[in-house]
Structure 1
Amino acid sequence: MEVRDGLVEAAAVCDHRPGSRRFLGPRTPGGADTMTLRWGILGCARISRRGLIPGIEGSRTGELAAIASRDGAKARAWGAEFRIPRPHDSYEALVADPDLDAVYIPLPNELHAPWVKAAADAGKHVLCEKPLALDAAEAAAMVAHCRDRGVILMEAFMWRHQPRTRGLLGHLAGGLIGELRLVRASFSFPIEAGDWRLDPARGGGAVWDVGCYGVSTARLFAGTEPEGIRARAHFGPSGVDMSLAATLSFPGGVLASIDCSFEQPFRCAYELVGTRGVIEVPDAYLPPAASPALAHVRTIGSGSDSDAGTDRSRVLEFPAVDQYAEMVDAFAASVAAGRLLAPAEDGLAQMRALDAVLAAARD
């Protein structure tokens, strides 16, 4: 299965830099569908420290080879701390590094497009933090640019690559809770004053930063794109959405209720409701790496109407893994295939949905 709008065709899985035909070989003990990728990271962001750096280190397919900062001393300090061989004192130097295969971009949102395009121009495959772009038009240009240069572009929604996510997709397909009718998702936390995510010019706002998870969740489990969207928001002094609630409708009778906030206590959960039961998913996008990820299932028993006394409940357990490592290996599989492989996020379709949500909230 492949992701359509974000499809990137490649004639062969190889080093796309001009004048080079160095094929990336399979990594032992991986098979033909896994690749050894040498990674570079643009910027010393918090998400790199707690997410992708340990993810690359824990993956089967990744090797962290370089990191860049506009502060050369900071790049060298991170290089020493994480044993990264080549610290660069500019983003340009990392992108031009001939010994890299893939670049991770965790920069502020307004910098995604220029650096995705620069990395693609240098023949690098790109994993870009969410949201992919500032709007759908910018995302379309990024996707086209990477397609023209024969490199993979993937949006970094790590939660899609959890064993729990794959398992729940299987349970839904198997009819565990009947026909899916509702997806509910909440993600919120209080943000500090002065955070760049409060700046509208930089792509700030709750829906871009955390509401995007709920939209991605609804789209994944509905298996299609929304056909109707309504939303309301509380906008802060800077003009960005501080709290937002949206209702999405999908073909096939599936609804989604999504809320997000920069001014509410921490919440991170989603719920799948079907005609025969419900699945509640705690720690939805940030599951513990050292203990099993859980999902609570309740299915309708012999009762009817409001009688839940006969309902059957159980807990599903899924392997404890580093979801970032899973994402790194999934990215390598997409590179090997020459196209995005499900459940990778289709960044263009996601941005179209996010644009529609925010437009509805402002209407």
Structure 2
Amino acid sequence: MASLVSMVGRLWGAFDPPKSPKSSDALKFGVLGAANIAPLALITPAKSHPEVIVQAVSARDRKKAEAFAKAHGIPEVRDSYEDILNDPNIDCIFIPLPNALHYEWAVRAIRAGKHVLLEKPSVSNSIEAESLFNLPELSKPDGPVLLEAFHSRFYPSWSYFRSLINPADVVHVSAYSMIPWWGTGKNDIHFNYALSGGSMMAMGTYNMATLRLIFGAEPEECLSCDTNAYTDGIHDKCDYEVKAKFRFPNGGIGEAETTLKGPTYWTPSHVTVTNKEVVVPDDTIPTAQEKVLSRELTLHGFIHGVFWHRIDIKNVYTIRNKEGGAVIKKWEEKTFHKAYTFREAGGQFADLPGETFWMSYRHQLEQFVNRVKGRKTQHWVSAEDSIGQMRMLDMAYEKSGLGPRPTSKYRVEDS
């Protein structure tokens, strides 16, 4: 009962956070597109951040933008995306547009001197990623800040989970995510190839990023990529579920499975890490014997940890003869942990900011503002990381036979 009350209170605060007075030097955001993700990813988290104001929004349909602004308390509505980019009063741009438009509008925003918070996946393929993240403006000391909004990486439970892992010891990782069948429709942008749709671009990108981060390396090969995909007209080549397998440099195997047409009941995302067997020093056993540990770690709810998550640690100990390997004794120990704040994560994270009601998007916004303001950031998604992520997605799409998502016709020279 206590845990239920705690969850209700936490989620109430996450979706209706206390409003913070705004500082005189607060960053003013312009939002390109009246997207459904914008309230969750920026507008709601901004309420509790003293240095963030969501100032303006624009959409292809001005009436839609006006209704969106009224619903979310955004002071200004602009006729076009260009109007927002050209406004000297706007410091930062949030881009929650369909995937195929990310590249063009991120380039335009950076060329306009704006800091950019860019929804994931950052672009449609690795060609666009190489171009975007290597823009010369981004390498200038006082140049714009660009962040691919992989919000889940900023949550305390993820930081704590990774701290338990030594990438060199990892032999297998499996990551699963889903959206129930009723949560998407065939005409959603997820299933529009021209807009760079597909389950790998939607939920699968979380899974694949998780594999890369846990192995601490880029995959050498996509061993298999089995998909179910539409094959009719506008939905052609759009996967709605996928299971991909990758080999990493240490020989370990990573598996990513996701679906946008899942069972009726939603199941939390989860990632399980299997480590190689390691010898544990133990002076209490005979010298002819050895004690070894096999560890399995699982993070339930690795995408939206604020709703619910749990870190399971399963340690399997074996005492055996060094000669011949005969097992003398074997037993299992299980523990679990939660970290809704960095204080709960403890250790090296204990002093990092955050409240129980902060969702991953709020933690992400904290770090984005810190980077823009020239302050230290504890977590970040680097340009190399974002480029590597798109290479992995391309690798999987190539193996599936569907091919990478199409490259934008927009060129940097056009801005």
Residue aligning to 1:318: 339
Residue aligning to 1:356: 395
Residue aligning to 1:152: 145
Deviation at 1:340, TM superposition (A): 8.4
Residue 338 of structure 2 aligns with an amino acid whose one-letter code is E
Change (3 A) 1:53 1:309: farther
Residue 367 of structure 2 aligns with an amino acid whose one-letter code is A
Matched, 1:235 2:229: yes
Residue aligning to 2:208: 215
Which sections of structure 1, spanning at least 5 residues, go unmatched? 1-26
Q: Secondary structure at the match of 1:318?
A: coil
Deviation at 1:60, TM superposition (A): 5.1
- TM-superposition CA deviations, 1:49-86 (whole Å, max 9, x none): 23321122233542222222222233233323322222
Deviation at 1:309, TM superposition (A): 7.7
Change (3 A) 1:181 1:318: same
Change (3 A) 1:348 1:161: same
Which of 69, 77, 82 lines up with 2:59 in the alignment? Answer: 69
Matched, 1:172 2:160: no
Q: Secondary structure at the match of 1:262?
A: strand
Q: Is the 8 A contact 2:22 2:51 kept in 1?
A: no
Residue 280 of structure 1 aligns with an amino acid whose one-letter code is T
Residue aligning to 1:299: 315
CA distance in 2, matches of 1:160, 1:151: 22
Which of 326, 335, 339 lines up with 2:372 in the alignment? Answer: 335
Task: State the Cα RMSD in Å.
Answer: 3.0
Residue aligning to 1:98: 88
Change (3 A) 1:66 1:303: farther
Residue 102 of structure 2 aligns with an amino acid whose one-letter code is H
Residue aligning to 1:121: 111
Matched, 1:197 2:190: yes
CA distance in 1, matches of 2:73, 2:60: 19
Q: Secondary structure at the match of 2:165?
A: helix
Deviation at 1:188, TM superposition (A): 2.1
CA distance in 2, matches of 1:40, 1:125: 10
CA distance in 2, matches of 1:200, 1:210: 16
Deviation at 1:142, TM superposition (A): 1.3
Change (3 A) 1:307 1:55: farther
Which sections of structure 2, spanning at least 5 residues, go unmatched? 1-19, 277-293, 321-325, 341-355, 403-415
Change (3 A) 1:280 1:76: same
Change (3 A) 1:91 1:309: farther
Greater relative contact order (Cα < 8 A, sep 6+): 1
Q: Is the 8 A contact 2:219 2:249 kept in 1?
A: yes
- TM-superposition CA deviations, 1:169-192 (whole Å, max 9, x none): 22225x9xx922222111222231
TM-score normalised by length of structure 1:
0.81
Q: Is the 8 A contact 2:316 2:331 kept in 1?
A: yes
Q: Is the 8 A contact 1:277 1:297 kept in 2?
A: yes
Residue 216 of structure 1 aligns with an amino acid whose one-letter code is A
Matched, 1:89 2:87: no
- Structure number with greater Rg is 2
Change (3 A) 1:341 1:133: farther
Q: How many residues align?
A: 328
TM-score normalised by length of structure 2:
0.72
